[in-house]
Amino acid sequence: MNEMQIRLPKGFDAHCHFRTGEMLTAIGGLIAKHWSKAVAMPNTVPPIETANDAEKYRKEIIDACGGNFEPIMTIMLTKKTTPQIVKEAARRGVKALKYIPRGVSTNSEESISLGELPDFYNVLDAVQEAGMIFSGHWELLRDKNGELAEMEREESAIVFLNKIVRHFPGLKTIVEHASSRHMIDYVKQCPLNVKATLTIHHAIIVNDDVYDKHGRIYNPHNYCKPVAKRTADAEAVFSAMTSGDHRFFFGSDNAPHLLSAKKKTPPPAGIFNPFTLPILCFIFETCNTLDNLKGFITAGEKIYGLTPSHETVTLVKEDQVIPESYPCGNDVIVPFMAGRTIPWKVAE
């Protein structure tokens, strides 16, 4: 490995919100430039609930990203989901059932609460039997005393997650965007069928990068769910990310919103980061673990049963400035770290 140049396989983003329409057209090529495949989250409007929905959405993504890019399709767990829907989806190539507790994040109104999960154990039985993945956003919106502060929601959901892990020992379970030291520690002590995706933003920003001292969101482009947390939490994510432990692998949680929406109070949650690969190089370089980067961007392919890409991407040690925005229709999308200089770039 030349210290000024790195060649990596074109890797796998295990968590991506492609959106639809103009926004998908605006971001699709940016994602496909760095990644050979990505898991397409189904919490669109309306949600992707069936195999037919997934097939239509897959075509839309390929049209936006290009034929060499492979979207990995999912369906969403909603009140309508049945074992038959899961079985048919698996038969037609859908890889995962996505779960967001109702009300916790964007477009989750059709979902069910954490407390209602036992009512859908027959659905999870079908997921386990089909060899599909159960991929979840683990946050508890409110406890018996009322709505929980956002900083507490991930830790508070672990008790519900643990019930699933214990009840379904053969279920391939993914904790999406683990953002707290409590969740990182939990995944480390789980059986090996339990994995977690990690984002860049949860490794390098904290709550003070989002909220002012009065608790108001001053940087909506850093606002996401789960929210950025304390320094100890970011350090735990950073450590797991760079460790070479293949229970943890990359999921960008790219979730773009238009600038006009981000200016609202409150803004929608979601970060858009089209420079994930160069920033990952920088992160791994800072702790002298560049040799672990390949594993981090490919380890997720194994649990999804995917064939690694034969394509490669070359990164060079050269400064680049992240654009202030990207056009989208009559509006723009502001990327993560807009205007900042990073020391790596993808070779053209």
Catalytic residue status for 185: no
Q: Residue ranges of the alpha helices (H) in the chain? A: 21-34, 51-65, 83-91, 121-130, 153-167, 181-188, 201-204, 231-242, 259-262, 276-286, 293-298, 300-304
In 3D space, the residue among 58, 134, 51 whose CA is nearest the CA of residue 89 turns out to be 51
pLDDT digits (tens, 9 = 90+) for 22-46: 999 999 999 999 999 999 999 999 9
Q: Is the pLDDT of residue 207 over 90?
A: yes
pLDDT digits (tens, 9 = 90+) for 102-154: 999 988 988 999 999 999 999 999 999 999 999 999 999 998 888 899 999 99
Q: Is the pLDDT of residue 1 over 50?
A: no
Q: Is the pLDDT of residue 252 over 70?
A: yes
Catalytic residue among 13, 185, 253, 291: 253
pLDDT digits (tens, 9 = 90+) for 45-95: 999 999 999 999 999 999 999 889 999 999 999 999 999 999 999 999 999
- Tell me the average pLDDT across 293-300: 98
Confidence of residue 3 (pLDDT cuts 50, 70, 90): low
In 3D space, the residue among 261, 298, 270 whose CA is nearest the CA of residue 100 turns out to be 270
The kind and range of the H/E element at 11 are: strand 11-16
Q: Is the pLDDT of residue 310 over 50?
A: yes
Distance between CA 148 and CA 234 in Å, rounded? Answer: 20
pLDDT digits (tens, 9 = 90+) for 261-296: 999 999 999 999 999 999 999 999 999 999 999 999
- Residue 311, burial from CB neighbour count under 10 angstroms (0-12, 13-18, 19+): exposed
Mean pLDDT for all residues in the chain: 96
Q: Residue 188: which domain range?
A: 5-346
Q: What is the tally of structural domains in the chain?
A: 1
CATH of the domain at 82: 3.20.20.140
User: Are the C-beta atoms of residues 249 and 299 closer than 8 Å to each other?
Assistant: yes
Q: Coil, strand, or helix at residue 34?
A: helix
